[in-house]
Amino acid sequence: MSGTTFQYFHACRYASARFRITTILVFLASLAVIRLMNDLLWAQGRPPASGPEHLVQWASWAWAASFPTVLVSVLALGMRTEDADEPPAVDPSVVVAFRIVSRGRNAAALAGTVEAVRRVMHDTPLFRYRIEVVTDEPVDLPPARDLHCMVVPDDYATPHRSRWKARALCYAIERSRNEAKDYIVHLDEESWPSTSAVVGIAEYVARHNNRFLPPIGQGMILYYRHLTGRRAMPKFLTLADMLRTGDDIGRFRFQYRLGKAPMGMHGSYIVIRTDVEQRIGLDVGADGSLTEDAWFAMAAQASGVEFTWVNGYVVEQAPERVVDFVKQRRRWWNGLFRVALFAPSKAWARTTLFGFLVLWGAAMVGSIYTVLNGFLGLATHPVASWLGSICFAWYLTMYVSGLRLNLAAWQQDTGVSLSRRRRVRYYGALVVLMPVFGMLEAAAVMYGMARPERGFTVITKSNVPSVPSVPNTPASSEGSLALA
């Protein structure tokens, strides 16, 4: 890897000292404002007058459910994930396969992702690559030297009867052209790698390729693409997904830095050597098919494989409808509970995941309390009030930090300079709407408890461009390292 490329990546990294200091300052300012508002508006709360009101008052302690997550995220700010020394060049015999899994019903989004991979690899040819597209239904993609399409047969079945995406991934393991030493980058049908992701993947491969059992890598996912459009609802839900980016640089980066993944992992922007994936396997069965990524992470830990953070980011899309947003979270909630109960795992990892899910459910109770007490006006215990304020301030900080990273990437990727007025409008909307986002997250958990997910809901995502298309960059063009 050239020094220029390495310096490019480190010049735009998100874990800089400036970013960390700003994040802490935003948190402290948010906490001060929340405490001031609490003293002005709710300091004169009345004592409960009945049994039901006593129960409501006790529910205020659920505000503290997110405190362990807050502590982990704060610790993550103090952890470095970047190595200062320049990595060696990538072994020229290694191939990186961008594996895109889709049902095949959204051909436009799938074609957009294939073009996005070609574009970024043409601009930053740091390793040899191919694109693998795995679908349940045939998709009309023009044949190309760098493209390998696999359609899962209707009668294909795995030994453990895995379903949906897990089934397609098992088929891909069997039919891929990869050699054992090659790498896989898992993507969803709307995942667009950035230049920083290509640099991060190259760095990961160069640093870990000589290991007998290299760690599984995962990087940050951004969601800014709907911010470029005019539709109000996708923009609203994109702001709601800013927490996911904040979560990536918080608890997810924390666990990967420790070499573990007890809280699961995303199903996209996973980097793994082919022989490691073959060793673990993706035949997760019916119980693991709802969240096959988290099940796979548990199985990997149980087999002794470690995890690490991959620098750079991939750009995806937030849901476009509220019902899809809620169903998506419901699937995660129900799927992760099955993972915690049934996945092959060590006791500490199972306990960690189960504890996280319990705290997630308790946070839902805190959201309900907030709404009820807005009408009842009950006094809150000072300790519960302070813990709730700390958690609320930190989550607000994670939303703001996620938006900050998304806006910076949007400007860097598109070359569009965002006006201060537009930035202020986004930040203002995020702060005002955060309680609404919390209620939507709580609704998803309640929905999952009342009516558990029994299928695999695929949410609708249109092909929303994030960067201008670069003409005349076919897979075989000079400068790229595409494969026949």
Of 351, 188, 395, 185, the C-alpha closest to 262 is 351
Query: Can you give the pTM of this predicted structure?
Result: 0.89
> Using an 8 Å Cβ cutoff, are 146 and 130 in contact?
yes
The DSSP H or E segment spanning 278 is helix 274-280
Q: How far apart are CA 372 and CA 378, in angstroms?
A: 9
What are the structural domains, with CATH classification, of the chain?
A: 95-339 (3.90.550.10)
Distance, in Å, from the CA atom of 282 to the CA atom of 160, rounded to the nearest integer, reads: 10
pLDDT at 117: 97
Distances in Å between the Cα of 429 and the Cα atoms of 33, 229, 410 are: 17, 16, 18
- Per the CB < 8 A criterion, the answer to whether 184 and 308 are in contact is no
The answer for 27, left when phi > 0, alpha when psi is -120 to 50, beta otherwise, is alpha
- The number of angstroms, rounded, from the C-alpha of 451 to the middle of its chain's C-alpha atoms is 25
Number of helices (H) and strands (E), helices first, in the chain? Answer: 17, 8
Provide the 3-class DSSP secondary structure of residue 253: helix
Q: Which two tokens stand for residue 387?
A: 């813990």
- 371-to-37, 64, 325, 380, 432 alpha-carbon distances in Å: 16, 16, 21, 14, 15
User: So what's the pLDDT on residue 161?
Assistant: 93
Residue 48 has, within 13 A of its CA and on its CB side, a CA count of 15
Nearest to 280 by CA among 352, 213, 354: 213
DSSP string covering 460-484: ------SSPPPSS--TTSBTB-B--
Helices marked H in 156-267: 164-175, 195-208, 232-240, 242-247, 253-257
Report the alpha-carbon distance of residue 414 to residue 401 in Å, rounded: 20
Helix axis angle for 322-342 and 347-376, nearest 10°, is 140
Q: Which residues contact 399 (CB under 8 A, 6 or more apart)?
A: 239, 242, 243, 246, 430, 431, 434, 437
SS3 90: coil
Cα–Cα dist 463/104, whole Å = 13
Written as one letter, the residue type at 126 is L
Give residue 150's region: left, alpha or beta (phi > 0; psi -120 to 50). Answer: beta
Look up tokens 């930053």; give the residue. Answer: 124
Per-residue pLDDT of the chain (484 residues; tens, 9 = 90+): 554 444 444 434 566 778 888 898 999 999 999 889 888 766 677 887 788 877 877 878 887 888 888 888 888 877 765 666 677 778 889 999 999 999 988 888 899 999 999 999 999 999 999 999 999 999 999 999 999 999 999 999 999 999 999 999 999 999 999 999 999 999 999 999 999 999 999 999 999 988 889 999 999 999 999 887 788 999 999 999 999 999 998 889 889 989 999 988 999 999 999 999 999 999 999 989 999 999 999 999 999 999 999 999 999 999 999 999 999 999 999 999 999 999 998 899 999 999 888 888 887 777 777 777 777 777 888 888 888 889 889 999 999 999 999 999 998 888 888 889 999 999 999 999 998 998 898 888 888 888 887 776 666 666 666 554 443 444 443 345 666 4
Please give the Cα distance from 236 to 249 (Å, whole number): 22
- What CA–CA distance (Å, rounded) separates 195 from 470? 14
